[in-house]
Amino acid sequence: MPSILIDETHDPARESWVESANGHGDFPIQNLPLGVFSRGGDAPRGGVAIGDMILDLGKLALSGLLKGPAADAAEAAAAPSLNAMLALGAEPRRALRRCISALLAKDAPERAQVEPMLVPMAEVQMHLPAHVSDYTDFYVGIHHATNIGSLFRPDNPLLPNYKHVPIGYHGRASTIRPTGAEVIRPQGQTKAPTADAPSFGPIAKLDYELELGVWMATGNDLGTRIPIGEALDHVAGLTLLNDWSARDIQAWEYQPLGPFLAKNFLTTVSPWLITLEALAPFRRAQPPRPEGDPQPLPYLWDEADLREGAFSLDLEVYLSSAAMREKHIAPMRLSHGPASNMYWTIAQMVAHHASNGCQMQTGDLLGSGTISGPEHGSQGSLMEITRNGKDAVELPTGETRTFLEDGDELSLAGRFTADGAVSIGFGQCTGVVAPAKV
Ligand SMILES: O=C(O)/C=C/C(=O)CC(=O)CC(=O)O
Ligand SMILES: [Ca+2]
Ligand SMILES: [Mg+2]
């Protein structure tokens, strides 16, 4: 476990000569997240967000301003995906962060050389930061697991394995997209409990799931494990993740093998990878397990992980219907809550995933599972908010929603805050629902 490394890159007094970065909600100089962008159809390449600009890592790599591991990292990042850069591991990534922070800091003598490497964010197209090797979705939001379990299985909401095993399922890498991808309403086979027979067509219960995504930097050899104490050394950073879900397909298909077509038609992520090093000031102790909960097996237990395995992060979900956007009504907040409702830490997810010798790889993406709080107003899906369609939500236009309608725009937002630190965010994670392609 890398211990919390707070250095000059987190200094709250550090400002940038890129004026828009100072006081920026997501991308002040203390964040410096990694992404892949292109402009006007040119080749996608790595970049670092700073305010409303992007520092082109392709140009930085060629500039001669970097030396040693930082130069290696920038050179590897001058590619259509960051996989080669992530595969270098934490040290070159951290060295690059320290150099970029110094180059972008107010009064940096290199300003005149760096300024031509900046591209306005408004002019670019964002891509996924990495080629997704494999995608796995966990289920660590204990309130979500309890809420949704009681809707799918009223007699048996939280199954007895939940507090021993970080439950997950294998998702599909080919349908992960960055923010902005249209959410085409899926078609599928469904059967209402009252119907005599199943039918096929556009689904009615389109939902979202508020999740954290974890990008893996390095993996393990087939047949070997990742010890929990080393798990975060394999992680590059975090993203927001929306696991769009078809609840009517899910209810009919999920037993006995779990989610399949209800979940694999699209997953949206925020395009910026917030590195673990940027998150150092926001690491927190994992909330203690409730009294009476079982002690996890030793391969899932690490004292250092318990001391700093959680994050001080606030999450929000916003909905805006087509009619709201037409009338310039601000998006309505559907939920708000802390990310501290994760029963298992990221290190526990990673250690468990590799515990059977499963090979993890650079570019693997792990979803946390839906993060819900215990109270109304903090649930991370419409199925929970509307109790599977029983209690409609009223929008400011007087429209109502039980699940998402065509034209709805759904956005996730997340913000890390801590005393004495400049807060940072993920940027956009949004999708607009389009009619089914029948
Ligand atoms: O059957 C259930 O309990 C429901 C499972 C899910 O909705 C799966 C899922 O995507 C996990 C999650 O996001 O927490
Ligand atoms: Ca999910
Ligand atoms: Mg999905």
Residue 26 has pLDDT above 90, yes or no: yes
Give the model's pLDDT for residue 155: 86
Nearest ligand to residue 372 Cα: 1
155-178: average pLDDT: 95
Beta bridge partners of 206: 246
Compute the distance from residue 370 Cα to the ligand 1 centre, in Å: 7
Question: What is the number of the ligand 1 atom nearest to the C-alpha of 144?
Answer: 14
Question: Mean pLDDT of all residues in the chain?
Answer: 97
- Structure tokens belonging to residue 54: 């992007």
Of the chain, the percentage scoring pLDDT greater than 70 comes to 99
Q: Where are the beta strands (DSSP E) in 172-269?
A: 176-178, 183-184, 187-190, 199-202, 206-207, 210-216, 235-242, 245-246, 267-269
277-302: average pLDDT: 96
Does residue 149 line the site of ligand 1, with CB under 6 A? Answer: yes
Compute the distance from residue 137 Cα to the ligand 3 centre, in Å: 8
Does residue 141 line the site of ligand 1, with CB under 6 A? Answer: yes
Compute the distance from residue 243 Cα to the ligand 2 centre, in Å: 5
Does residue 254 line the site of ligand 1, with CB under 6 A? Answer: yes
> Phi first, then psi: what are they for 414, rounded to 5°?
-145, 140
Compute the distance from residue 409 Cα to the ligand 3 centre, in Å: 17
Residue 1 has pLDDT above 50, yes or no: no
List the residue whose alpha carbon is closest to atom 2 of ligand 1: 149
281-296: average pLDDT: 96
Cα separation, 236 vs 180, in Å, equals 23
Nearest ligand to residue 135 Cα: 3
Helix or strand holding residue 193 (H, E): none
Give the model's pLDDT for residue 326: 98
Cβ contact 79:38 at 8 Å: no
Does residue 384 line the site of ligand 1, with CB under 6 A? Answer: no
Of the chain, the percentage scoring pLDDT greater than 90 comes to 96
**144 is a catalytic site residue:** yes
Confidence of residue 156 (pLDDT cuts 50, 70, 90): confident
pLDDT in tens, 42-73: 999 999 999 999 999 999 999 999 999 999 99
List the residue whose alpha carbon is closest to atom 10 of ligand 1: 369
Mutate to test the pocket of ligand 1, among 170, 175, 208, 243 (most ligand atoms within 8 A of CB): 243
Whole-angstrom Cα Rg for the chain: 22
Compute the distance from residue 17 Cα to the ligand 3 centre, in Å: 39
Question: What is the number of the ligand 1 atom nearest to the C-alpha of 140?
Answer: 14
363-370: average pLDDT: 98
Q: Is residue 415 helix, strand or coil?
A: strand
Mutate to test the pocket of ligand 1, among 261, 370, 372, 384 (most ligand atoms within 8 A of CB): 370
**Predicted ipTM beyond 0.85:** yes
List the residue whose alpha carbon is closest to atom 1 of ligand 1: 149
Give the model's pLDDT for residue 3: 60
DSSP 117-161: GEEEGGG-EEE-SS----EEEE--BHHHHHHHHHHH-TT-SS-TT
Compute the distance from residue 105 Cα to the ligand 2 centre, in Å: 39
315-334: average pLDDT: 98
* Model confidence pTM above 0.80: yes
Cα separation, 246 vs 190, in Å, equals 10
Residue 2 has pLDDT above 70, yes or no: no
pLDDT in tens, 221-252: 999 999 999 999 999 999 999 999 999 999 99
List the residue whose alpha carbon is closest to atom 3 of ligand 1: 149
Question: Which residue in the list 10, 144, 234, 352 is annotated as catalytic?
Answer: 144
Confidence of residue 157 (pLDDT cuts 50, 70, 90): confident
Q: Which residue segments constitute the domains of the chain, with CATH numbers given?
A: 8-127 (2.30.30.230), 135-434 (3.90.850.10)
Does residue 144 line the site of ligand 1, with CB under 6 A? Answer: yes
Cα first-last separation, the chain:
50
Cβ contact 337:142 at 8 Å: no
129-139: average pLDDT: 98
The half-sphere exposure of 164 on its side-chain side, counting CA atoms within 13 A, is 4
